[in-house]
Amino acid sequence: MLQAINDRIKGWLGIAIVILIGLPFALWGIGSYLDDTGPRYAAKVNDSEISANEFERAVSMQRQQLQNQNGGAPVDEKALREDTLKILINQRLLEEVTYNEG
């Protein structure tokens, strides 16, 4: 059966099928490069940006720390993300004040 399929797919029909299958994947890949959904940071403090990756790392570390303290109990994700963002913003503000004051 596979041999029969292989025999029929050779030639222009095979090329057409490969193009029809490959074209959506190619366009999907190009679309991801052209898609600009806006800023790539979680927050902006004055001129300093807190990247989305940095924010996600901090949330993960906070989640792990809270679960270790509470014996693996589930964590309120919304409150965790808000508190972590506040902590990161406060850290950036303190860094700026410290830098400006020498």
Q: What is the pLDDT of residues 31-46, one digit of tens each?
A: 667 766 666 788 888 8
What pTM does this model have?
0.60
Query: Domain check: are 30 and 61 in the same one?
Result: no
The 3-state secondary structure of 12-62, one letter per residue = HHHHHHHHHHHHHHHHHHHHHHHCCCCCCEEEEECCEEEEHHHHHHHHHHH
Query: Domain check: are 52 and 96 in the same one?
Result: yes
Query: Domain check: are 21 and 47 in the same one?
Result: no
Query: Domain check: are 87 and 67 in the same one?
Result: yes
Q: Which domain holds residue 45?
A: 41-101
Residue 38's φ and ψ, nearest 5 degrees, are 115, -155
The radius of gyration computed from the CA coordinates of the chain, to the nearest angstrom, equals 25
Q: What is the pLDDT of residue 82?
A: 95
The low-confidence residues of the chain, meaning pLDDT below 70, are 31-32, 35-39
Query: Domain check: are 52 and 90 in the same one?
Result: yes
Query: Domain check: are 20 and 45 in the same one?
Result: no
